[in-house]
């Protein structure tokens, strides 16, 4: 084996190791997010009488993502991915602690403040998928995103298991669950310390010294705008239904043990497809895979409209997760083709700013509308969001620059 071949093999092994560790961080960190989304409304209504505001702490988490995504991206561009991600974990510890304190003292505003701080942690967590692109060769762009996203499979197991085993461990209910979230962020902080991320300015990267374009010029590219619209519509649909489903399930008279099970199936739908989404994009292209994603989302809405039995919620939320996965991985892959390496911080930040501005609105409206108009009407509204995503996906066919296909290895 030549020296060059040995060095290539070493770098390949190191990239795989770093991707595996990043996937572990995604799995563990996302488990905390699953917990937050699945128990917040149920924990708030144990002491707060205004049920329509029960999802507000989770909503403020999404608002926090929107507010913090640009500072988080700027920090990573100055100090590197590793430092920026660990700062996110510290915010996660602080946010979870505030939520626990708010629940213990029955202080709704403290829980809201905790949700806002957790927004920084989620903003950092969402950037793992972009870091995966930087850790992998260009030919594996979609697969790297898909592999790291697949960490959510473990998150979908860890989150509900921790919820079921800790929700009554301490009083008041769910206090032990919020304390477990602190531990989650401590573990992520430790793992991040051993991942070797590429240098901030990689001289080997193409266009590394190219001048940066204004943000508006990046954003007005048809492909970039289309990717953001798809991301906004898919996230809004997913958040609209997932945030309101625990309240809808309990409101229909189903047992309190049903929401964690439904959320588990939903999260499995979100992340299990990640094991093959990248390969599907490589074989069939972004447009076909994302079109299938919108059709699956529509099927999920159709099942929800058929009734209010346990199986309706289980099947509907599972399909909702699968459709979201196809659109999420596809839209992220499309975004990464629209900027130069030197522009990645602001381009990625704008993408997540717009997406999580939408999810913050969807999360808040979910609890409010669930109490006012009910689950069925919510699903009709979600159908309209999916239609927007479908139109955006099909518009890629009409654009002069075709949507990219990831090359097969």
Residue 6 inside a domain? The answer is no
- Residue ranges in the chain whose pLDDT is less than 50: 1, 3-11, 203-204, 206, 401-409
CATH value at residue 18: 1.20.1250.20
Sign, CA dihedral 148-153-156-162, equals negative
Give the model confidence (pLDDT) of 234-260 as tens digits: 988 888 888 788 878 888 888 877 887
Q: What percent of the chain has pLDDT over 70?
A: 90
Whether 252 maps to a domain, the answer reads yes
Model-level pTM?
0.72
Q: How many independent structural domains does the chain possess?
A: 1
Judge whether 8 lies within some domain. Answer: no
Task: List the alpha helices (DSSP H) in 252-309.
Answer: 258-271, 274-284, 286-305
Q: Which residues contact 275 (CB under 8 A, 6 or more apart)?
A: 146, 150, 153
Range of the domain at 321: 13-196+215-398
CB-facing half-sphere around the CA of 331: CA atoms within 13 A:
29
Tell whether 206 is covered by a domain. no
Residue 203 belongs to some domain of the structure: no
Angle between helices 81-104 and 56-79 (to 10 degrees): 160
Report which of 155, 136, 156, 154 is spatially closest to residue 144, judged by C-alpha positions: 136
Torsion 90-95-100-101 (CA) sign: positive
pLDDT in tens, 3-39: 444 444 444 567 778 888 888 888 898 888 888 877 8
Give the C-alpha separation, 99 to 104, whole Å. Answer: 9
Residues 322, 305: Cα–Cα separation, whole Å: 18
d(CA 131, CA 149): 12
Residue 53 to residue 55: CA distance in whole angstroms: 6
Whether 189 maps to a domain, the answer reads yes
**Does residue 259 form part of some domain?**
yes
The rounded percent of the chain whose pLDDT value lies above 90 is: 27
From CA 327, how far away is CA 231, in angstroms rounded? 7
In a domain, 25, yes or no: yes
For CA atoms 236, 239, 245, 247, give the dihedral sign.
Answer: negative
């Amino acid at each position: 084996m030549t020296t060059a071949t040995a060095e290539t093999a070493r770098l390949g092994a190191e990239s795989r190791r770093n991707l595996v560790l990043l996937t572990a961080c995604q799995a563990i960190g996302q488990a905390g997010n699953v917990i937050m989304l699945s128990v917040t409304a149920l924990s708030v209504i144990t002491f707060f009488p205004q049920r329509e505001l029960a999802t507000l702490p989770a909503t403020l988490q999404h608002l926090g993502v929107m507010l913090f995504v640009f500072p988080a991206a700027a920090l990573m561009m100055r100090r590197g991915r590793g430092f920026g991600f660990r700062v996110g974990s510290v915010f996660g510890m602080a946010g979870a602690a505030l939520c626990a304190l708010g629940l213990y003292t029955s202080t709704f505003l403290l829980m809201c403040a905790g949700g806002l701080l957790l927004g920084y942690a989620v903003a950092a967590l969402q950037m793992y998928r972009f870091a995966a692109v930087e850790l992998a060769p260009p030919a594996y762009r979609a697969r790297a995103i898909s592999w790291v996203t697949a960490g959510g499979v473990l998150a979908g197991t860890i989150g509900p298991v921790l919820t079921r085993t800790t929700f009554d461990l301490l009083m008041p209910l769910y206090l032990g669950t919020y304390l477990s979230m602190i531990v989650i962020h401590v573990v992520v902080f430790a793992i991040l310390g051993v991942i070797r991320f590429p240098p901030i300015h990689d001289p080997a990267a193409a266009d590394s010294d190219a001048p940066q374009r204004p943000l508006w010029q990046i954003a007005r590219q048809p492909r970039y705008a289309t990717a953001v619209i798809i991301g906004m519509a898919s996230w809004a649909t997913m958040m609209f239904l997932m945030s309101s489903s625990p309240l809808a399930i309990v409101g229909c008279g189903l047992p309190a043990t049903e929401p964690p099970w439904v959320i588990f199936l939903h999260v499995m739908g979100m992340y299990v497809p990640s094991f093959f989404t990248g390969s599907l994009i490589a074989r069939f292209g972004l447009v076909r895979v994302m079109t299938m994603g919108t059709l699956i989302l529509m099927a999920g809405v159709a099942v929800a409209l058929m009734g209010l039995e346990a199986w309706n919620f289980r099947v509907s939320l599972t399909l909702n997760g699968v459709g979201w996965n196809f659109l999420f991985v596809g839209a992220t892959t499309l975004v990464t083709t629209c900027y130069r390496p030197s522009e990645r911080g602001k381009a990625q930040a704008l993408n997540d700013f717009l997406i999580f501005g939408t999810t913050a609105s969807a999360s808040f409206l979910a609890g409010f509308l669930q109490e006012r108009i009910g689950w069925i009407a919510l699903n009709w509204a979600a159908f309209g969001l999916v239609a927007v995503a479908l139109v955006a996906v099909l518009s890629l066919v009409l654009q002069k620059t075709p949507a990219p296909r990831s090359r097969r290895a």
